[in-house]
Copies of this chain bind each other. A is one copy, B any other.
Amino acid sequence: MIVTPQSMSFSQPLALRSGASIRDYSLAFETYGTLNADRSNAVLICHALNASHHVAGSYAGQPDSEGWWDTMIGPGKPVDTDRFFVIGVNNLGSCFGSTGPMHVNPDTGKVYGADFPVVTVEDWVDAQARLLDAMGIERLAAVMGGSLGGMQALSWTLQYPRRVRHGVVIASAPNLTAENIAFNEVARRAIVTDPDFHGGNFYEHGVVPKRGLRIARMIGHITYLSDDVMNEKFGRRLRSAVAEAGNAPDGVDLRYSTQEIEFQIESYLRYQGDKFSEYFDANTYLLITRALDYFDPALQYEGNLAKALARATARFLLVSFSTDWRFAPRRSRELVKGLLDNGRDLSYAEIDAPHGHDAFLLEDPRYLGTVRSYFERIGQEIGS
């Protein structure tokens, strides 16, 4: 499936939860499949921290440019673009095409940098709703996302209950735990205290706070993987091939160094950190982790999640993964309970998968089969 990114500009100010507003912004998006005559087969995909509007397919002439959820979405795939019109949109504040901190603030004529307004999950949903308005889509067959994307999908069902038939919330949570916030905070401190951050205005200094971004990404990667899969993939294996082949059983091949790489897991993390620091925007990292921290639909209901979810009228598919310790199954069960307390119609699958939080992006037949079945049901409902 060859796809082409698009962009839409919005001149009217969008009021944000912080009290600020943003105007003259644009959203990058992609669509796959065909909107049917009664405009009932649209599926919106919401992305997590490090993803974009490029959800599925490849760009012409770039065979390795598959979208981040290409296993899930495309012709004949679980979310079948032969039946559904699928929309991916890059969120405000991100760094893959939509207006973000690296763009010019129309109020000042200068690059936003640290002055880019704080955006919340709710703000993103509002911006996505405007995009759908412009596309003439009144009601979504489904809104779907994993992790932070799942929070957006959930928030859609609360902010625009009548515009959503189905909410598909994968590897997500009703809010972050203290530990989740703690990991975000360490990553942010690593970025903010990098001397190359310059208070968020590093663009004008011609530098990038790569040290901080590397640390942030390394922390992220640890929390995306399960302890088990890390042990299986890396264990205590040394980077040196000799020891790896078992030829150095007495440990003679150890380097005894505090700074050189000794274990394969170190090599992996450094590589992931380096790669990330080459392309990800530091201010975007702060904004997106903060949106995660702030998301808490029960806050206005004295922490009563069932009350917060009472607004939702959609039907739901929720999925969690047994070894996900970032957004553990018990967090999805909180959502299940809150929805059941309101008598909502839902399906819940707890997938026994070894990969931790990352599992939501991987090919697991039970997982993909569950989503496929659910979307077949949606297709039948809307006659698509």
Q: Does A249 contact B (CB under 8 A)?
A: yes
A200 to B259, CA, bound (A): 10
Ordered nearest first, which 4 A-B pairs have the shortest CB separation? A18-B256, A258-B286, A178-B230, A118-B256
Interface of A (DSSP majority class): helix
A289 to B249, CA, bound (A): 22
Stretch at the interface among A71-79, A144-152, A294-302: A294-302
Least Cβ–Cβ distance between A258 and chain B, in angstroms: 4
A75 to B367, CA, bound (A): 59
Task: Determine whether the beta carbon of A222 is less than 8 Å from that of B302.
Answer: no
26 A-B residue pairs with CB within 8 Å: A114-B258, A118-B257, A175-B236, A177-B236, A178-B227, A178-B233, A178-B236, A179-B225, A181-B265, A181-B266, A182-B269, A183-B222, A185-B218, A185-B265, A185-B266, A186-B219, A188-B258, A193-B214, A194-B211, A200-B259, A246-B302, A249-B300, A250-B299, A258-B287, A258-B290, A262-B293
Least Cβ–Cβ distance between A236 and chain B, in angstroms: 6
Q: Does A19 contact B (CB under 8 A)?
A: yes
Kindly list 9 other residue pairs between chains A and B, CB separation below 8 angstroms, not including A177-B236, A182-B221: A17-B256, A178-B235, A182-B218, A182-B269, A186-B269, A188-B259, A190-B190, A251-B299, A262-B293
A163 to B333, CA, bound (A): 53
In the complex, the chain B residue whose C-beta lies closest to that of A18 is: B256
Which residues of chain B are within 8 angstroms of A182 by Cβ–Cβ distance?
A: 218, 221-222, 230, 265-266, 269
Within 8 A of B (CB), among A167-194: 175-179, 181-183, 185-186, 188-190, 192-194
Q: Does A39 contact B (CB under 8 A)?
A: no
A269 to B178, CA, bound (A): 11
Q: Which of B175, B236, B266, B287 contacts A296 (CB 8 A)?
A: B236
Which residues of chain B are within 8 angstroms of A258 by Cβ–Cβ distance?
A: 114, 118, 188, 283, 286-287, 289-290
Q: Does A273 contact B (CB under 8 A)?
A: yes
Known interface pairs A189-B270, A222-B183; A265-B178 also in contact (CB < 8 Å) = yes
Task: Determine whether the beta carbon of B179 is less than 8 Å from that of A227.
Answer: yes
Which residues of chain B are within 8 angstroms of A317 by Cβ–Cβ distance?
A: none
A residues adjacent to B (C-beta < 8 A): 17-20, 114, 117-118, 175-179, 181-183, 185-186, 188-190, 192-195, 200, 211, 214-215, 218-219, 221-222, 225, 227, 230-231, 233-236, 246, 249-251, 254, 256-259, 262-263, 265-266, 269-270, 273, 283, 286-287, 289-290, 293-294, 296, 299-300, 302
Q: Which of B114, B219, B257, B263 contacts A181 (CB 8 A)?
A: B263
A234 to B258, CA, bound (A): 34
Which residues of chain B are within 8 angstroms of A296 by Cβ–Cβ distance?
A: 236, 251
A273 to B263, CA, bound (A): 27
Which residues of chain B are within 8 angstroms of A221 by Cβ–Cβ distance?
A: 182
A194 to B215, CA, bound (A): 11
Which residues of chain B are within 8 angstroms of A183 by Cβ–Cβ distance?
A: 222
Which residues of chain B are within 8 angstroms of A293 by Cβ–Cβ distance?
A: 262-263
Known interface pairs A185-B265, A195-B195, A251-B299; A178-B256 also in contact (CB < 8 Å) = no
Least Cβ–Cβ distance between A250 and chain B, in angstroms: 5
Which residues of chain B are within 8 angstroms of A236 by Cβ–Cβ distance?
A: 175-178, 181, 296, 299
Task: Determine whether the beta carbon of A186 is less than 8 Å from that of B218.
Answer: yes
A258 to B93, CA, bound (A): 12
